[in-house]
Chains A and B, each alone.
Chain A
Amino acid sequence: MILLFSVFFMVGALAFVWSNVKMIKFSYDYQALLHERNELLRKNQILKVERESLQSLNRIRVLAREELGLIEPANTDRVTIFLK
């Protein structure tokens, strides 16, 4: 009887400790992932800023006119289509 009680007690204690250990391990993993996520977000923000800078209309105008040789179409070359 005492032996059985001791076994149950041990199992209960181990389950309690195991769940706590597991929770702490998860929280470490979570913190590491959070750190990684923040780092990726930071990189993402830098890339967004770079994209915005590259989309500068002044830069696009220079590229279009000087590198690609694009010109504006005349009014007669244009067709406007309105969808009803």
Chain B
Amino acid sequence: MTSPKKHLAKTFRTDIRVRLILVSVLFGLFGLGLVSRLFYLQVYMHNELVARSDKQYLSTVKIYYGRGEIFDRNMNQLATNIEVESIFANPADIPNKVIAARELARALNLDPKTVLSRVSSKKHFVWIKRKCSLKEAETVRRLGLSGLSFVPEHKRFYPKRELAAGVVGFVGMDNQGLAGVEHHFHQVLKGTTRLKVMEKDALGRQVGAFNDLSRSQSQSRDLVLTIDEVIQFTAEYHLKKAVEKYRAKSGTAIVMDPSTGEIYALATVPQYNPNQYASYSPKTWKNPGVSNSYEPGSIFKPVVAAAAIDSGVARPQDIFFCENGEFKIGSVSIGEASDHKFGWLTLQNIIAKSSNIGAIKIAQQLGSQNLFRYIRDFGFGQRSGINLPGEAEGQLRSPDRWTQLSLASISFGHEIGVTPLQMITAMSAIANGGKLMQPRITKGVLKEGQPVRSFPPRLIKRVISEKTSKQMIDVLKTVVKEGTGQEAAVEGYDVAGKTGTAQKYNSETQSYSKSDYMSSFVGFAPADAPRLAVLVMIDEPRGTYWGGSVAGPAFREITRQSLRYLGVPSKEERVYILDRA
């Protein structure tokens, strides 16, 4: 029999052991739970929790490097960007839609019904107005309406407004190039967006990342044009004056450096302001200098004369009988402008007096195949490859598709379609010693101010010999001195050129109009060392229509002021040469 003391001790030990086991089991279970939980959090949920944590302390900043700028040849800005704000809304967060729509419409000058339909939309994102002015954004911000948000955006801005708009073009709402070099060089100019991950604190403020986030370090590329702002302005100013004076439908003027093919000015009237392009007719957005082709009329005669002299079938002093003003080809009778009746004329006088019959006689001596070959060589009937959209190739049929009348018609600039750009390029070839240069509108591409691409002058081919070129320059000087182009003469400079007065073809009546003309003048100066080739075309002038009277004065003023600007001294002024030594 055991004593009660011993029994009590045994019971106590058993009790302790049970308790210890119980506590151990509990600890074991707790440990197991802890390990399971850790496994769940650290292994099973690892990716999700890391992502959640990143979301809490990391933020992604979008850095937009704006669209590249466009400059003229002297780095004057023609297109740039300004930072503006766009306003969008989450309609679900707007409590009183009617009041909000009314206030927004008033502040942003929008139609209240349109705004109401936007804020009543079931979508979670609606634009209220894109690219607002700073004043508009500030007014809306002051309204304190809920559900509205602001996002910074870049807006294209053309500080020179209408100047060179036909060349520069414009961009759409999402900065996509729609016309001009903006369209042609969209891939070069388009802005880039970079995403940068940064740490943020509990208040959402960015911390860390001392890298440069400024927008000034542009990643975009800028474009430099061959256009000269001053010459472009001069061309536009005088072209506009001529178009207004003669109440013409439109006008085009091109100024080119004949030795390199660089275009200093490409002016078009009517003009448009690219900052508000939508307010103008889409017709004005076109660039007729490169995209329209016309029957050139008599300004084409120098091409025929140059071909004849170069191929050796005629010399400037050779004489041709001009049939006393009436020449029959088959059943068609061809006469002279102003019913002139010319008898025997030298080739030089045929061009100076712009005799149609004389031009036919020259072309007949040259022959269809030869004439066609020279016309092609001068760049007609094919695109020049200028960096502008919508270039036309003109119309030039091959001789096997010519009629009995074609050779005659083409000799004085009919039955052929040429673009103003082709015409001035051909005239430049006559001026520069016979080399056909590719016309160029772009000078180079810059990245962070440093050139990364350039567009050097490109010789397409030699079209006529230097000797022919010199002879043609003398012929064309006579046009301005004694012939039809006297109103194009520039005081103090020798000018060579040719007038053109082309009757326009009316496709409705299928005949040449008696009232609608294309009046033009194309020439270069100083004649013996040309610095500029200038073409002026006035479409459908009223009152008078002779190329010499309508386009000649505009040519004279553009040439005079441009030569002055380029520092080419006239014969009348004093010139000193100072030796620095």
Contacts and interface: CB of A to CB of B under 8 A. Distances in A.
Contacts of B209: 27
B572 A41 contact: no
A27 B210 contact: yes
Interface in A44-82: 45-46, 48-49, 52-53, 55-58, 61, 75-76, 78-82
Contact of B161 (A23, A27, A37, A56): A56
A23 B199 CA distance: 13
Contacts of A31: 205-207
A84 B578 contact: yes
A79 B83 contact: no
Interface string B200-229: 010001111110011110000000000001
B207 A28 contact: yes
A26 to B, nearest CB: 8
Contacts of B578: 81-84
B577 A52 contact: no
Contacts of A79: 573-576
B569 A38 contact: no
Interface string B548-581: 0000000000000000000101101111111110
Q: Is the interface of B mostly helix, strand, loop or mixed?
A: loop
B150 interface: no
B interface residue count range (under 10 / 10 to 19 / 20 to 34 / 35 or more): 35 or more
A28 B76 CA distance: 38
A80 B210 contact: no
Contacts of B573: 75-76, 78-80
A30 interface: yes
Contact of A49 (B157, B208, B229, B567): B157
A42 B233 contact: no
Nearest to B83: A42
Nearest to B210: A30
Interface residues of A, number: 31
Given A80-B569, A84-B577, A46 B207 contact: no
Interface in B399-413: none
A34 interface: yes
Contact of B580 (A24, A52, A84): A84
Contacts of A76: 572-573
B491 interface: yes
A63 to B, nearest CB: 14
Contacts of A24: 201, 207-208
A45 B575 CA distance: 42
Given A57-B163, A75-B492, A80-B569, A28 B230 contact: no
Contacts of A80: 567, 569, 573-576
A34 B207 CA distance: 12
A79 B570 CA distance: 10
B83 A56 contact: no
Given A31-B205, A79-B574, A84-B578, A56 B215 contact: no
Nearest to A53: B159
A56 B163 CA distance: 9
Contacts of A28: 205, 207
12 contacts: A23-B208, A28-B205, A28-B207, A38-B215, A45-B82, A53-B159, A53-B161, A75-B570, A79-B573, A79-B576, A82-B576, A84-B577
Per CB-CB distance, the 7 closest pairs between chain A and chain B, nearest first, are: A52-B159, A75-B572, A80-B569, A57-B233, A78-B573, A27-B207, A75-B570
